Amino acid sequence: MLECYDFVSVGGGSSGAVIANRLSEDQSASVLLIEAGGIENEVSDIPLIAATMQLSPLDWQYVTEPQDAACFGMSDRRSLWPRGKVLGGSSVLNYMLYVRASPHDYDEWERLGNYGWSWKDVFPYFLKSEDNRDPVFLKNGYHATGGYMTISTPPYSTPLGRAFIKAGIQMGYPNVDVNGPTMSGFMIPQGTTRRGARCSTSKAFVKPVRHRKNLHITLYSLATKIHFDHHKRARAVQFERFKVPHIAYARREIILSAGAINTPQLLMLSGVGPAHHLSHLGIKVISDLPVGQNLQDHIYTGALNFQVSPESSVTHERAFTLKNVMSFLTAGKGPLSLLGGVEGIAFINTKFANRTIDHPDIEIHYLTGAPTADGGQVFRRTQGFADELWERFYIPHLYKDGMSIFPVLLRPKSRGFVKLRTVSPYDPPVIDPKYLTHPHDVRTLVEGMKFCISVSQTPAFKAFHSKLWPEPIPGCEHYKAWSDEYLACSARTITNTIYHPVGTCKMGSKWDPTAVVDPELRVKGVAGLRVADASIMPNIVSGNTNAPCMMIGEKISDMIKKTWGTGPLHNGRQWGR
């Protein structure tokens, strides 16, 4: 390691890996990437078993505070929050779905005062990263080849997965590319996979350039503090590697891409955050900003599980045969290539959505299997089900064929926060998403659940004898089965994160008192410091967050290059390696 670099970047996840790659394109600029975790392993390459990465050494293993209005059926009324502690970040743990979200989301960002973040501004950066391997999708003009990140369609599907598309058509929704000209509709999803295996941002963006002489990467290195000079300019990052302290100085800028939990934690530990909170902990205040506020997340309710015909879905016993393992290892094919078991996604409009524009308010994740398909080996542990819920609702269906249709609340109105628990960087922060504290969120989820039940009753699924699990959800028995009140109760009981925390370092105009960074992602009140990850989102996007985080990494890299006059900016569509 050197004592001083031009750029010091903290966090090598979905945004940070992109930034390390793009900033080091200029051979005259030295770049240090500080990552708290290590390197992904071969097990994480297998898409179907994405959930097994949770609660592993590759996971920060965060847990929320007990929820007042949700998570009633989870242990201690808490939600487990996996976050990637590994080079590649949460792209090593996620379900690999490639979704850019709605153009209206980004146009709304710009309307909030964030110049340069409209859809027409960010769309080129999605294309810049992309190397789409499916010729069908390439034809519609909304995709690109030649980027670092491989996007492909899983090479395997089940009859139930294909039935999901038919069911959507029978419900009046077309089979679409949700990243194409129309978002509302059903599709077999594309994912961040390469030859059937997971393609993390580490594999895509870091591995091809790891031998650049001007790019240094330090792993197992926990950033503990940002040091500022007397002019409030960020000068260095202090970090510990195997408990040995180090410090790296930055000539030009420090970029934080540690994610929606770790970035605000590091800022607050360094004196950037709410003055009253920092003062209470004895931390000297450098800049009084609402760091950690505006926490948003996508949630779904796991209550909609269905019985289906024998041997029609994916179960642990049938998936992990010698034949299937060899098919995956040699050709990247077979059921192990499924995106965590997600065979279908859809974007639909409830009665609360504005149907005059293409801006759905519910996303559906369709899984050809139930949480009990593995007999309780993984999902019971990673979802955090309480004993009573597991024993009364799930145990009757162990190892049995099933399917799950999960509605995801895309634009929650509930807002939570992240705060420091102690002044130690080794202590996890206080995380309180305040799920379902806004009544509109419950009403929207109920409408989404009713739609999912209707999907299960279409002729496409009736051919597989689909039927809701008959067991009542504990705590909801006193409501009429499947009434709006029962559905609301079940949403509050089985409340699951879809792993998309955002918003804790909100981007906004210079006169926005709720903003932490400006539209060029510079932290307000200080100099030489930017944030570039999901925490900058003013409002959560209407879709999965991995692709938007890569876009943020691409866009901030060009902003930084423009600031310092280094390296080529994107030009037309001449991007890629």
Residues near 86 by Cβ (< 8 Å), separated by ≥ 6? 35, 37, 38, 39, 40, 58, 92, 93, 202
Domain housing 352: 46-82+155-188+299-497
- CA–CA separation, 412 and 442 (whole Å): 9
The answer on pLDDT for 346 being more than 80 is yes
Q: Which of 226, 400, 408 is nearest to 304 (CA)?
A: 408
Beta strands in 340-397 (DSSP E): 342-348, 362-367
Write the pLDDT tens digit of every residue in 462-502. 999 999 999 999 999 999 999 999 999 999 999 999 999 99
- CA–CA separation, 223 and 9 (whole Å): 10
Residue 550 and residue 519 in one domain:
yes
Q: Which of 521, 21, 513 is nearest to 256 (CA)?
A: 521
Write the pLDDT tens digit of every residue in 415-424. 999 999 999 9
Write the pLDDT tens digit of every residue in 299-314. 999 999 999 999 999 8
Residue 438 a catalytic site member: no
The answer on pLDDT for 106 being more than 70 is yes
Dihedral over Cα of 350, 363, 63, 418: its sign = negative
Residue ranges at the known binding site for FAD: 86
Pairing assessment for the beta strands 149-151 and 130-132 based on DSSP bridges: parallel
Domain of residue 161, CATH code: 3.30.560.10
The answer on pLDDT for 576 being more than 70 is no
104, part of any domain: no
Residue 167 and residue 243 in one domain:
no
130, part of any domain: no
574, part of any domain: no
Domain of residue 281, CATH code: 3.50.50.60
Residue 258 and residue 317 in one domain:
no
Q: Which of 312, 311, 374 is nearest to 340 (CA)?
A: 374
Q: Which of 189, 191, 183, 458 is nearest to 347 (CA)?
A: 183
124, part of any domain: no
Residue 333 and residue 447 in one domain:
yes
- CA–CA separation, 537 and 300 (whole Å): 20
Residues near 109 by Cβ (< 8 Å), separated by ≥ 6? 117, 118, 507, 537, 538, 539
Residue 428 and residue 515 in one domain:
no
Residue 533 and residue 448 in one domain:
no
Q: Given this model, what pLDDT does residue 566 score?
A: 62
Q: How many residues does the chain have?
A: 577
Domain boundary among 497, 518, 534: 497
Q: Given this model, what pLDDT does residue 568 score?
A: 45
The answer on pLDDT for 569 being more than 80 is no
Q: Given this model, what pLDDT does residue 571 score?
A: 39
Residue 228 and residue 369 in one domain:
no
144, part of any domain: no
Q: Given this model, what pLDDT does residue 1 score?
A: 86
β-strand partners of 409: 299, 362
At CB < 8 A and 24+ separation, what contacts does 330-335 make?
331/196, 332/155, 332/195, 332/196, 332/197, 333/155, 333/156, 333/196, 334/156, 335/48, 335/156, 335/158
Domain boundary among 497, 521, 553: 497
Residue 439 and residue 472 in one domain:
yes
391, part of any domain: yes
Residue 9 and residue 27 in one domain:
yes
Number of domains in the chain: 2
Catalytic residue among 143, 216, 397, 500: 500
Residue ranges at the known binding site: 86
Residue 218 and residue 342 in one domain:
no
Does the pTM surpass 0.85? The reply is: yes
Cβ atoms 497, 406 nearer than 8 A: no
